[in-house]
Amino acid sequence: MSNTQTNTPSNSPEVVFYILNSVEISAREHFMSKLLKKIVSEQRRADVVFETPADAQRYDLSLWQYQPQSFIPHSLANAENAPIQLYHEAPTKPCNDILLNHQTQFPEAFSRYQRTIEILDQTPHLIEMGRQRFKHYRQLGIEPQVHKIGFSKETT
């Protein structure tokens, strides 16, 4: 795992990129579920933004099956009061804590959150769009942290 530390002003939102050594959407979503479980265990809140309503609904169903013995309380677009909210567009009532961007475009509302998390895999389109978002954060004066997951030390 490689780690680049942040050199941004203390009042800037924190941005973290996780880069997975996989091309499977299931691996990306499994990793996101592990992050959400940790977020809930830390009594924090997160908004997860997907490309389409179908993506948000499919992930909602997968969360019900992720480790059934340890439910991750969540809801679609604030239908219920839960620490994890799943959206297919920018939240109308952001939690202001953590944003997990599961879209390819830049999350314009990221500055409303304390932390923004981007999860990429090795799919060429996701890598290219992730690079564009990474550059955009830098243009805004934010140096994202990068964590590479599942790579051997020779390739990081």
Residue-wise pLDDT for 96-111, tens only, equals 999 999 999 999 999 9
User: Using the 8-state DSSP alphabet, how is residue 12 labeled?
Assistant: S
b/e burial code for range 57-87 (CB count within 10 A of at least 16 → b): eebbeebeebeeeeebebebbeeeeebbbbb
β-bridge pairing 46-50 and 14-20? unpaired
User: Whole-prediction pTM value?
Assistant: 0.87
What are the chain's domains?
14-155 (3.40.50.10110)
Residue-wise pLDDT for 68-80, tens only, equals 777 899 999 989 9
The end-to-end CA distance of the chain, in Å, is 7
Q: At 86, list the tokens.
A: 């799943």
